[in-house]
Structure 1
Amino acid sequence: MNKNLALLLPSLLLAACGGGGGGDSPQMPPTQTLATLAVSMTDAPACGFDAVNVTVSKVRVNQSSSANENDSGWTDITLSPARKINLLNLTNGVLEALGTTSLAAGTYNQVRLVLDANTGNSMANSVVPTGGSETSLDTPSAVQSGIKMNANFTATAGQRYDLVLDFDACKSIVTKGNGKYALKPVVKVVPTALNGINGVLEAAALGDGVTVSAQQAGQVVAATVPSSNGEFALTRLPVGNYDVVVTSNTHAAYVVGGVPVTSTTAMVPISTTAAPLKLLALSNMGSISGTATLTPASATESALLSAKQAITGGPTVTLRYTNADLASGAYSIGKLPLAAAQYSAYSATLPLVFAPAASTPGTAKYLVDASATGYATKSTPSVDLSLANATGVNFTLVP
């Protein structure tokens, strides 16, 4: 989400995107002790939406991780006017520059992203469900105080530091009944360099709801959707090994296990234009639905449901995930392939060779996790879709 917000951006990009604003901190130190901070935003893909819009008014940084919005020590980048951004335009490493400011040299441990609130009939923050019309997106009180992110970066006098905020639209949108939507913001500060994993899907696979994600231990770290020419990039990944999962609406899942990201500045290809990744194994699809309720209930938090399989001799991966409805707890995970996943261990020799893989709980069977911040995760050992869609798969989460 892979889909999934620092990078050395040229000055031209900042100017083209209209970045601007200045620090609001009083008593700024002399110029020779100042650093320059540039902030941009990127996104993982959203599930089931043609647009996810947020209106950014300010980015704030503070050296204290515990500072509240009224404490001293904040340096602000103010966007004037506030900028409405469609997050779905920010995949495959694309950035939206939010501006630059001078700030005192030192280590900074907190970042806040401040959004404009919807007022009256305003569509400052909105979604466009696939095939639907623009609908207001309810926002929490964090839009006033700012969406808080932990950070740990050092700004050096006389140098520039580029900060990228990764807004995961898929995990950030929840339904709340009656056709309404709410923002449950999932935003993180991601590494500076444009490194990661890239590849190319054959043209026949495009236009099929394809999503590509990089995962570790079944947790989605980054996700994206291929461009119109089939290229995809899972960018700004911390050094480590990743499992790449390709899902579509009509084919079995394709999984590449153990892709090594060993550099903070280089991309690791798993397919190329000359050797594209081909989706050949067609599959029928099933769905899992039920409720995931929180006890005690929360006005802002909902459960995240993840459908997983453990590939024999390979990794455990998430094939689909969704948020439960904020009001009722209802959820539905659709487009789950009934055919066996196609698996290949990573190799630098391309093209990769895929083969059907045995998995636990088994072909057409899924492990489902339900998780929410502040609540203990619960799991089902096996949901069988081989005969029919599964309904009534219910969870009650407690702290």
Structure 2
Amino acid sequence: MRWSGALALTAVLAACGGGGDDNGAGTGNVGGDGTLRVALTDAPACGYDHVWITIEKVSVHQSSAAAEADAGWKDLVVSPARKVDLLALTNGVLEELGSTPLPAGQYSQIRLVLASNSGTGTTTLANSIQPTGGAVTALSTPSAQQSGLKLQAHFDVASGQMADVVLDFDACKSIVKAGNSGQYILKPVIAVVPRVASGVSGYVATSMPLVSTTVSVQQDGAVVRSTTPDATGKFSIPYLGTGTYTLVVASEGHATAVVTGVTAGTTTTSINGTATAIATPVSTMADVTGTVVVSTVSGSSTVSTALTDASVYASQVLTGGPTIAMGSQAVDATAATYRFHLPVAAPVKAAYTAGGALTFAPDSAVAGKYNMQARAPGRANIDKPADIGGGSSVTVPLAYGP
């Protein structure tokens, strides 16, 4: 299978249709049949004990612009529809959705179609969440049942061969709370990755709170994939393309650990063992909060309107590099507010060498210093600094306009 273009893309709600003959739009068909196999996995979810979705089918098309009524859709039907707890699919665990024959050629679109919430009781809901310590609540999935979650992913299916696709669902970024209404909305973020043998594995200390510990591999200040460790502290991040990554360990009540120069090749790179498990210093935590708004001038007054389609990204620039991502979230669907819970203490950094010990040193110059960035469709990004080095929470408003 040959992959081209960006593999990690934000899912958008769009139309999805049934099967049919190819309409010739961007086909590149080379004749013969191959096989498509699809699996589902998940990045860590923040603040939830369970996130359930029910999958009815996966549809693919050779044109990235194909709409619901277009011919050429090929379906992998999940029968019976399968209810999956996404939070059981971290640390490299896969939910196999099945396989289907496909005409050989280039494919540019995948759609994940979910069942509808037709039941009334919490046990019969097709799509629902359970906030940590809370009750099971319906998860609103606008248009997802009929039209599907649209993913752009360019891959080839070769005659007589299998194309392996993993849909990496980021539940933490995909669920948005709607103000104080008690409702939760699914705005899915899904990465489409090839199932390859390379990856990264290792251990974090079990003395840290593992349920609130996240391990991610990053490039250029963006998370490529992430996971949570298991009860032994072991973490596994598979399906990485060949390249060099930064490993970031974030844990509640602890400083951030950063390992630079981690390479992934044709096998899994082992960072360390249990005897050298990563243990980060204890740190107080503080909040960075704010609201994303659009400000306009009306007469002598400035009017601010909540920008509810924005997302906010928190990052930290280490001395001499790199920039590390500390988290991202869609703003509240009603109030456009955001909140990050970040360590006050300095991050600790070590360089990776194959077979060598990790020697961490604190980057004291950047302790408590972060950058908040607002992103919204059709608008330039807004960046503002946030300093919690004094141990106090701060408010950082992000405003477009005057």
Q: Is the structural similarity TM-score above 0.5? A: yes
CA contact (8 A) 1:276 1:351 kept: no
In the TM superposition, what is the alpha-carbon distance from 1:387 to its structure 2 partner?
4.5
* Partner secondary structure for residue 43 of structure 1: strand
The whole-number CA distance in structure 2 between the counterparts of 1:357 and 1:344 is 10
Partner Cα separation in structure 2 for residue 54 and residue 197 of structure 1: 28
How far 1:253 moved relative to its partner? 0.6
SS of structure 2 residue aligned to 1:88: helix
Letter in 2 for 1:293: V
1:105 matched residue in structure 2: 104
User: Structure 1 residue 235 and structure 2 residue 238: aligned?
Assistant: yes
1:202-247 deviations in whole A, cap 9, x for unaligned?
2222435111111112211111000111110122122222111111
Amino acid at match of 1:319: M
Counterpart Cα distance in 1 of 2:263 and 2:276: 19
1:76 equivalent to 2:72? Answer no
Match of 1:51 in 2: 50
Q: Single out whichever of 221-230 and 350-359 deviates more from structure 2.
A: 350-359
Cα displacement (A) at 1:100: 1.2
Correspondence for 1:131: 133
> Does structure 1 retain, via aligned residues, the 8 Å contact 2:331–2:337?
yes
**Partner residue, 1:218:** 221
Equivalences for 1:146-165 in 2 at 5 Å? 146-165=148-167
Query: For the structure 1 residues 290 and 118, does the alpha-carbon distance in structure 2 shift closer, same or farther, using more than 3 Å as the test?
Result: same
Deviations 1:46-84 (A, max 9, x none): 111111111111100111111112211111011122111
Aligned position for 1:293: 293
C-alpha contact (below 8 Å) 1:184/1:300 kept by paired residues = no
Report the CA distance shift for 1:295/1:162 in structure 2 as closer, same or farther (over 3 A): farther
Give the match's secondary structure for 1:366: strand
Number of residue pairs aligned between Structure 1 and Structure 2: 366
Question: Deviations 1:318-364 (Å, cap 9, x if unpaired)?
Answer: 22333310111011111x111110111222233301011134xx322
Equivalent residue, structure 1, for 2:283: 283
CA RMSD of aligned residues (A): 2.4
TM-score with structure 2 setting the length:
0.85
Q: CA deviation at 1:26?
A: 5.5
Q: Secondary structure at the match of 2:79?
A: strand
1:314 is displaced (CA, Å) by 2.6
Query: Which letter does structure 2 place at the counterpart of 1:146?
Result: G
Q: Distance in 1 between matches of 2:259 and 2:294?
A: 35
Gaps of 5+ in 1: 1-5, 7-22
Q: What letter is aligned with 1:327?
A: T
Query: Within 5 Å, which residues of 2 pair with 1:370-389?
Result: 370-389=374-393
The residue identity in structure 2 corresponding to 1:354 is F
1:13 is aligned to none
> Which AA in structure 1 matches 2:285?
M
Code of the residue aligned with 2:322 in structure 1: it is: P
Unaligned runs of 5+ in 2: 2-17, 23-30, 297-303
1:3 is aligned to: none
Q: 1:222 to 1:300 in 2, by over 3 A?
A: farther
Bigger drift between 318-327 and 130-139 goes to 318-327
Match of 2:324 among 294, 308, 317: 317
Q: Is the 8 A contact 1:55 1:85 kept in 2?
A: yes
Counterpart for residue 184 of structure 2: 181
8 Å CA contact 2:291–2:306 kept in 1: the answer is: no
